Chains A and B, each alone.
Chain A
Amino acid sequence: MGASDAAVGTGKPGGTDDAATSLKRRTFLQIIGASVAAGALSGCRPPREKIIPYAKQPPELTPGVANWYASTCPGCSAACGALVKVMDGRPIKLEGNPDHPLSRGGLCAIGQGAVAGLYDPYRRIGPSREGKPTTWAEADAAISDALSRSRASKRQVALLTGSMSGSATAALVADFMAAFPQARHVIYDPFPCEAVREAHRRAYGVSVVPRYRFDQADLVVAFGADFLGTWLSPVEFTKQWSSKRAASHAARHIQVEARMSLTGTNADERHTLSPSEQADCLAATLMKVVTTLGAATPDLASVKASWTSEVQTVADRLADALVAQRGKRLVVTDLGDAAVQTLAVALNDALGNVGTTVDLERPSRQWQGSDTQLASLVGAMQRGDVEVLIIHGCNPAHSWPRGKEFADAVAKVPCSVATGSVADETTRLTKWHCPSPHALEAWSDAEPASGIHSIGQPVLRPLYRTRSLQDSLLAWSGKRMSFHQYLQEHWRTAVFPKAAKASGDFAAFWDEALERGWVQVEASPTRVGPFRKGVVPSALRQVAGRTKEPNGTEFELYHSVALRDGEAANNPWLQELPDPITKITWGNCACIAPSLATRLGISEGQWIEVGAADGSALAVPAHVQVGQHPGTVSIALGYGRTEAGPIGNGVGVNAGHLAALSGGMRRFHGQARSVAVASNRPAFPFAKTQIHDDLDGRPIVGEADRHAHGSPEEGHDHGHAGHEEERRKANLWGKPIPSDRRWGMVIDLDRCTGCSACVAACDIENNVPAVGPDEVRRSRDMHWMRIDRYFEGDADSPTVRHQPMMCQHCANASCESVCPVLATVHDDQGLNVQVYNRCVGTRYCANNCPYKVRRFNWFDNQAKLAARRLGLNPSVTVRSRGVMEKCSLCIQRIQEARIRSRNEGRDVQDGEVRTACEQSCPADAIVFGDLQDPNSRVARLAKDTRAFSALEELNRQPAIRYLARSKRTEVEA
């Protein structure tokens, strides 16, 4: 993997930060100091700002006791609320902020992994000029010079950034821009939402991405949109979706998609259509719905003719369901085509969803990127119109379909500046690299939805000589203030007055905002015009007018759940996070349907060449995926990085250039010119964590029949409450030895989407090493928690089951009795504990574990963690070579709560201990507590008729119970 052998810090160290390049714990602590305290450390730094801990306000750090700070997740534009766990001055974990109005405590894998970026040994430690280290003074002088030149020459100053929704940042950027006659701010996101905005602009005259409310929708119909996995704001949507699902047995979800997406696996009904068919289907559904509802139908016979009968069948089904469904409905699509989006808008409008499940008045402010603007900027750069280019928070050199063109364009800019905190493909192109600190080292703000302002506060002083974009913009515009001051000032003038509790004392407001991490203010609603019916016929015509090859193969590009745009490619935890569907780690693949594989005569891992209509082609190893549309090849974006760092470089292939630029907008799907076998290459060995996908009819994952209008019925395989006592009697050894508690967990499979945020959370909480692709190929992944994924039924439309699986903490643990040295035993809290120090590594426990949840340290995995040692959780032992490890139910958290409660002279309360997986779960599928306490949430849930244990017939008496997934039957009209 190479992570272990590279020293901390790349590039030549210089200046005062020498110490930081060879960080030892003590040195590290000296450098970061107590960032909460106001005491001076050294005189040559800007003043340190006061930040307030979220939950408690210690006068100083207590060694070994974590402080939590509310902040904003830097993972993506969704800007979920996050809590940063800081132990002894070191941020070690990001968790969801339970109070945050959008994410409500959930945090996805990307967000969980963000903390690793802080300790990425390949971070840039200071500014550089054409790759050579330089000083900030030199860089500032040169850039200021160039900026003045542009003012004189009237050439453009361009700021190319990712979405920055924060109002203070936006104001700052506007201030900065105002100083130049020819300035433009271009926003570029790896995930384009421009079509959604364009559609709303056409339909309502407002260029917004609405805030979708899945928690309001009784019926969701999604065309391709992987809203539980990657689309827009997956954590927020997962929270909404699962809460609706839990609240209403009638809530249903229909997915129409080409690939097997995470969302598709959770749908109650799923149809496979290729992307172009989805557009047709949307049109047909719209027509049918409008007709059924009795509105005037646009007379478009020609449009109708272009639909295949298959599309019409699905559309009829969808229209029936949409019309028949009582309550609220929601239609979403992720197709990057304004015409198709317009149809979805029209459908939502026809169904009366606007104002209920589609909120346009307080829209989302995430994902503001505009491909057309970038395309025009590239043109300007090529023409030599741009004097200064500042790039921040985006990597078009990797993800822009014409990366080469972009690179050439950047080369024509006299003064190009990149401010990424790590080196990437784009920073390589620029003359200057003025690295930003990691998000946890700097102030930032965000406004993910209109009126919801959140703050990103630094939890430690920058480790390296870095400066945030905001501070740099202030410096380059000659303002002698820090962004922290600017931010406060902005809030005082722009946010504070709108706050409902504006009691006059801004200081108190500010402190409270920092403590909570966010504030909600009264935002003036967007003025939404009436729906312009005229947009529909043209959109329909546009959709119908697309040339479609009959039976031609299409390709589709998507973002993977684990890596999304690939920005965090150098994070081994995310690379090793198995894709929830394919279970492939360390790389992407071309998902093809079994029938296509048969037709092409290829097997798993064989390379295929996918050619796009514009002539570009890509060789990519094929993965045969059940549930895939037979005529569509789906490839994940974000892979094939070349400048991500030693871990991420060369992992997978970059499919970005297959995307077509149509009218300046990227389209992530299209007709494949050719799909052929690249016969000369040996098959690629995918690093999969699960090789066998079939349940083989085994009753492991329960499913309960639950009718839409009726009480839940017992599942056919599971109905266990009564059997418990019988099983206990059948026990050879009679009554078990009583224990003080029985910590356990209930996992609701009806809520669990398989998003794998828990897996990432567990990895980071428990210092679980990533072992690299070769070891994963040898089935030696170390995940304490995994999500078993099974396909059932036929290959075209399989049923997918996700089952989180970790140590079951069996009362009759098979592992315990076979260990010769008592390295795994039960404690008086009812936990199956693994004593690493005592383990000699016979591996018998793992062999005898029916759940196969034990993980063995085949090599010295400590070395693999060494590079990130500073970010390790000090409460969890790092395991040495030759010992067994497994889920401890976050025993360190249990201990923490026990100590706290003992100090306070009380018992541990139900819900006081939250395991890492439970905490991170965006679907609230996991509940942890004491099964012995009859009033605890787990004890009550364990009595549910849906409750079952995995492999119950073995009488291992696991402490993990599952609630069977509800099979939601047809809507009764």
Chain B
Amino acid sequence: MSSAVSQLREPLVSGDKTHGDVTSDIARHVGSKPTGAWWALLLVSLALFGGGALAMVQTVTTGIGTWGLNRTVGWGFDITNFVFWIGIGHAGTLISAVLFLFRQRWRTSINRAAEAMTIFAVMCAAIYPLIHMGRPWYFYWILPYPNNRGTLWVNFRSPLLWDFFAISTYFIISLTFWYIGMIPDLATLRDRAADALQREPNNLKHRIARAVFGFLSHGWNGSALVWHRYETIYALLALLATPLVVSVHSIVSSDFATSVIPGWHATLFPPYFVTGAIFGGFAMVLGLMLITRRVMRLEAYITAHHLNWMCKILLLASVVMGACYGIEFFCAWYSGSSYELYAFTNRAFGPYGWAYWLMVLCNVVVPQILWFGKARREPLLMGLVCVSVTIGMWFERFVIIVTSLHRDFLPSSWTMYLPTLNEAMIMAGMFGLFFSLFLLFTRALPIIAIAEIKSVLGYARPSSSEHGQAHDEAQASRPRSGAAQASRMHPDVAQASHPKPNVAQASRLHHNAPFGALLGAIRRRRHNRPTAPSRYCVAYFTDEHALTNAARAARHGGLRILDAFTPFPVHGLPQAMGLGPSRLAWIGAWAGALGLVAGLTLQIWTSAYDWPVRVGGQPFNSWPIFLPVTFELTVLFAGLIGVGALFARAGMWPGNRAPRLPGVTDNRFALAVALPDASAGEDAVARALTEAGATEIVTGDRLR
């Protein structure tokens, strides 16, 4: 895989950025003074949301009758928007999880924002099932909880219940994924705030930032041991989120596909819906990125290539959607069912035909412009395509839901659906909520994954850590500018070019750092060995390769490596440090198995034994229909228990004030080794580390 990376590939980040540049470029937006335009947009968004909230209050207090629904069309704007927002959310997970698994390193520039978008979109989506209920105050009746009114369980056969499990699992896993991915960046922000506070001790903003980010960063200190476990869990979450993202929209499509209504009753729906979700979501991500990179001057990170790649995915999805539309018609015709055929004829040529053709125009015709390379470079055109696809995908859901319902089997019941102002206000309110949250996000959190982008600075690095040697070579073969490039090609030259370590400077900088406690903690966690070394030595590097080489050299030289501290996960470092694969993956697997068993047990027990109820002519234990919820619980258990295990093993908890080394969340790399007791040995180690490229070496005693 790694060997497939071409030298000809353009750098993922342009502008010759250093690690430090990355930190400051992205972090400077956090908490920065908003512009007038930002305020204006936020106010508009909040106003829309306020209107929507009022409309929702009216709906809940007066009744669903405030909407334009009727006895035949039971779902309209509500479920249209629900599916729309769920679809928008999908691109985030796709980018963060699926592209992660496929080693698409370019995702690093956009995954944070895309994941945030997922969270916000799912929030917008989740409001709809809630308020669309006739009696929303009883929403909790959908939960399978034992109660004191006699036996009473929920219907695990209902796609709506699957929805509930799928969406809550999706939301929880996405949120966890997003948050886990952000912890290193939150630590970076915390440390920046701490540094700034040192310069301006009375600045309240920095104090708040340090406190908030300090609380949220779970005591992250860039430890390579934690990175190692972190990466395992991150990969696990990606592994879970990938089928999850497929399952969620498949389940949402089951709301329709499992019904009997012509136009809904189609086995094509799951892939069709997933593709549509990716399509719509990508358009939304691309649109937001287009604006964000411009407004926030992030062109170096979200480069033309990123846009190009996203456009190509959009184009692919558009073609697939077009094919789906065609296949739907084919299936309807081939089914031989006059009802099916009518449903599709009615879609295209019935009273809502305009919506159908608008959908085709927006989703299939307009995106074809992306075949032209020029179009994929022209932001305005891309923006128009994004808007077109967003509109088109909204209408796709509208077409599927409303035109299928309004004319189904018995012509006597055919009606039309005309939405009311209330529904329009709620719909606008959801957009208001989404953009409000996104706007706040751009000011409050790093919208690009700082740690991850550092790992891809200037070149594509394979993430596979099993092939340490191979990728060392691969790295060596990759072009890079200036001295760094030279260092990769000729490590000796590179080391030679490093400045001599300045011991005095080091001691001045770090006199406050309680290294002993830090290292002691690490040692206890790692080996639980009572005989911790009494003395240690920390060497600082400016380059991850130097660190890796130093670690490898130190280990081969018989030194015990205590830990390393890096701003991003340095691949090959765990191998260099001699770390085996993390066992957390196994915990995740067992947790998943537990979820599976728990899910099946819950459903079969409640449905077939505790409260057998005749439903739809099915047997009490209709286990195949219980699989969707089982799957969701499997994923939920694996994800949450896996993350819990990471937190437990790595000693991470909110508000953890673990000690940390300076600059290791920014642009410095540190290696901590145990020192032999003899002072002569100490010098030898320091010399060896200096030779390996250390720019700074600090030694000290353990505190206890």
Residues of A that sit less than 8 Å from B by CB = 690-698, 700, 731, 733-734, 736-737, 739, 775, 778-781, 786, 788-790, 803, 805, 810-822, 825-828, 838-844, 846-848, 850-852, 854-860, 880-884, 950-951, 953-954, 956-957
Residue B320, interface by CB 8 Å:
no
Name A736's closest neighbour in chain B (CB-CB): B617
Stretch at the interface among B91-99, B127-135, B509-517, B587-595: B127-135
Q: Contact: B616 with A779, CB < 8 Å?
A: no
- Whether A821 lies near B154 (C-beta < 8 A) is yes
Select one of B158, B255, B409, B614 contacting A739, CB under 8 A. Answer: B614
Q: Which of A690, A780, A957 contacts B70 (CB 8 A)?
A: A780
Q: Are B71 and A855 in contact (CB under 8 A)?
A: yes
How many Å lie between the Cα of A779 and that of B342 in the bound state?
Answer: 22
Q: Are A790 and B411 in contact (CB under 8 A)?
A: yes
Interface centre among B68, B69, B410 (most CB of A within 10 A): B410
Tell me which residues across on chain B come within 8 A of A846, comparing CB atoms: 71, 74
Q: List the B side residues contacting A839 at CB < 8 Å.
A: 134-135
Any A CB within 8 A of the CB of B383: no
- Select the stretch in B57-65, B268-276, B321-329 that faces chain A: B57-65
Q: List 13 A-B contacts (CB under 8 A).
A: A692-B407, A700-B411, A737-B620, A786-B412, A805-B410, A810-B617, A817-B158, A817-B618, A843-B64, A843-B69, A852-B72, A882-B64, A954-B260
10 nearest A-B residue pairs (beta carbon): A841-B134, A882-B134, A858-B65, A817-B616, A843-B74, A826-B614, A788-B412, A852-B413, A812-B617, A779-B70
Complex contact A957–B617 (CB within 8 A): yes
Contact assessment for A851 and B260 in the assembled complex, using a CB-CB cutoff below 8 Å: no
Q: Are B158 and A840 neighbours in the complex by a CB distance under 8 Å?
A: no
Q: Which residues of A contact B63 (CB under 8 A)?
A: 857-860, 881-882
How many Å from the CB of B167 to the closest CB on chain A?
Answer: 13
- Known contacts A790-B411, A826-B615, A827-B614; A854 and B155 CB within 8 A of each other: no
With most chain A CB atoms within 10 A of its CB, the pick from B129, B260, B338, B407 is B260
B552 contacts chain A at the CB level, 8 A cutoff? no
Docked-complex contact B161 and A733, CB < 8 angstroms: no
Contact code string B583-622 (vs A, CB < 8 Å = 1, else 0): 0000000000000000000000000000001111111101
List of B residues within 8 angstroms of A789 by Cβ: 412
Q: Is B134 a contact partner of A883 (Cβ separation < 8 A)? A: yes
Q: Roughly how many angstroms separate A893 CA and B61 CA in the complex, as a whole number? A: 35
- Name the residue of chain B whose CB is nearest to the CB of A739: B614
Residue of A nearest to B618 (CB): A733
A736 CA / B619 CA spacing, docked (Å): 7
Interface centre among A779, A815, A846, A857 (most CB of B within 10 A): A779
What B residues does A781 contact at CB under 8 A? 71
* Separation of A129 and B153 alpha carbons in the complex (Å): 64
Which residues from chain A contact B138 at a C-beta distance below 8 Å?
840
Whose C-beta in chain B lies nearest to the C-beta of A857?
B134
B contact residues, range? 35 or more
> B408 interface residue, CB < 8 Å from A?
yes
Residue of A whose beta carbon sits closest to that of B339 = A698
Query: B146-190 toward A: CB 8 Å interface, digit per residue (1/0)?
Result: 000000111101111100100000000000000000000000000
Q: Distance in Å from the Cβ of B115 to the closest Cβ of chain A?
A: 29
| Chain B minimum-CB-distance residue to A821 | B141
Pick from B133, B158, B410: contact of A850, CB below 8 A.
Answer: B410
Q: How far is the CA of A693 from the CA of B615 in the complex (A)?
A: 34
| B interface SS class | loop
Known A-B contacts A733-B617, A781-B71; A847 and B405 likewise in contact (beta carbons under 8 Å)? yes
Residues of A within 8 A of B158 (CB): 817-820, 844
Flag if B71 contacts A820 (CB, 8 Å): no
Q: Which residue of A lies closest to B159 (CB)?
A: A818
Q: For window 242-288 of chain B, which residues contact chain A by CB distance below 8 Å?
A: 255, 258-261
Residues of B within 8 A of A (CB): 62-65, 68-72, 74-75, 129, 132-136, 138-139, 141-142, 152-155, 157-161, 164, 255, 258-261, 337-339, 342, 405, 407-416, 613-620, 622, 625
CA distance A789 to B413 in the complex (A): 11
Are the CB atoms of B413 and A841 closer together than 8 Å?
Answer: no
A299 vs B135: C-alpha distance when bound (angstroms): 78
* Chain B residues whose C-beta falls within 8 Å of the C-beta of A953 in the assembled complex: 337
Say which residue of B139, B415, B616 sits within 8 Å of A840 (CB atoms).
Answer: B139
Known: A817-B155, A858-B63, A882-B135. A842 touches B160 (CB 8 A): yes
Residues of B within 8 Å of A790, CB to CB, are: 411-412
Nearest CB of chain B from residue A693's CB, rounded to whole Å? 8
- With a cutoff of 8 Å between Cβ atoms, the chain A residues found around residue B142 in the complex are 820-821, 840
Bound-complex Cα distance A844 to B153 (A):
18
Contacts of B255 in A (CB 8 A): 844
A529 CB to closest chain B CB (Å) equals: 52
With the chains together, A870 CA to B133 CA distance in Å? Answer: 31
**A692 in complex: contacting residue of B160, B412, B615, CB < 8 Å:** B412
**Contact across chains for A821 and B414 when beta carbons are under 8 A apart:** no
Are B405 and A854 interface neighbours, CB within 8 A? Answer: no
* A356 CA / B616 CA spacing, docked (Å): 54
A692 with B408, Cβ < 8 A, contacts A780-B70, A822-B154 known: no
Quick check: B616 and A812 within 8 Å, CB to CB? yes
Chain B residue contacts of A860, Cβ below 8 A: 63
Least CB separation from A850: chain B residue: B409
**Given A693-B411, A739-B614, A956-B260, 13 extra CB contacts under 8 A:** A691-B415, A733-B619, A781-B71, A820-B164, A826-B613, A826-B617, A840-B133, A840-B135, A840-B138, A843-B132, A847-B74, A859-B65, A951-B409
- Nearest residue, chain B, Cβ from A852: B413
Q: Is the CB of A825 within 8 A of B154?
A: no
- Expressed in whole angstroms, the Cα–Cα distance for A394 and B181 within the complex equals 83
Report chain A residues within 8 Å CB of B616.
Answer: 812-817
Q: State the Cβ distance, B150 to closest chain A Cβ, in Å.
A: 12
Please measure, in the bound complex, the distance between the C-alpha atom of A842 and the C-alpha atom of B258, giving whole angstroms: 16
**Bound Cα distance from A957 to B416, whole angstroms:** 29
Instruction: Point out the residues of chain A lying under 8 angstroms from B408, CB to CB.
Output: 850, 852
Is A820 a contact of B411 with CB atoms below 8 Å?
no
| CB–CB A858/B64 < 8 A | yes
Cβ-defined contact, B413 with A778, below 8 A: no
B154 contacts A854, CB within 8 Å? Answer: no
Contact between chains at A779 and B415 (CB < 8 Å): yes
Counting chain B CB atoms within 10 Å of each CB, which of A803, A827, A842, A882 scores highest? A842
Alpha-carbon separation in the docked complex, A954 to B340 (Å): 12
Whether A820 pairs with B134 at a CB distance below 8 angstroms is no
Q: Name the CB-closest residue of A to B407.
A: A692
Residue of A nearest to B62 (CB): A859
Contacting pair B614 A856 (CB below 8 A): no
Closest residue on chain B to residue A843 by CB atoms: B74
Name the one of A691, A733, A788, A884 contacting B410, with C-beta atoms under 8 angstroms.
Answer: A788
Chain B residue numbers with a CB within 8 Å of A844 are 74-75, 158-160, 255
Q: Are B613 and A805 in contact (CB under 8 A)?
A: no
CA A814 – CA B142 in complex, angstroms? 19
A420 to B261, CA, bound (A): 52
The listed residue (A695, A816, A817, A852) touching B71 by CB distance below 8 A is A852
Distance in angstroms from A890 CB to nearest chain B CB is 20
Residue of A nearest to B139 (CB): A840
Considering the complex, give the chain A residue whose CB is closest to the CB of B60. A882
Nearest Cβ on chain A to B362's Cβ, whole angstroms: 26
Cβ–Cβ contact B410 & A851, under 8 A: yes
**Which chain A residues lie closer than 8 Å to B413 at the CB level?**
690, 788, 852
* A817: chain B residues within 8 A (beta carbon): 155, 157-158, 258, 615-616, 618, 625
Q: How far is the CB of A934 from chain B (nearest CB, A)?
A: 21
B134 and A840: CB pair below 8 A? yes
Q: In the complex, are the beta carbons of B64 and A691 less than 8 A apart?
A: no
- Given A817-B155, A821-B154, A843-B134, A850-B261 contact (CB < 8 Å): yes
In the assembled complex, how far is the CB of residue B602 from the closest CB belonging to chain A, in whole angstroms?
15
Chain B residues with Cβ under 8 A from A779's Cβ? 70-72, 415
Query: Which chain A residue shows the least CB distance to B625?
Result: A817
A798 to chain B minimum Cβ distance, whole angstroms, is: 14
Q: Which residues of B contact A695 (CB under 8 A)?
A: 411
Residues of B within 8 A of A778 (CB): 68, 70
Write the chain B residue with the least CB distance to A817.
B616
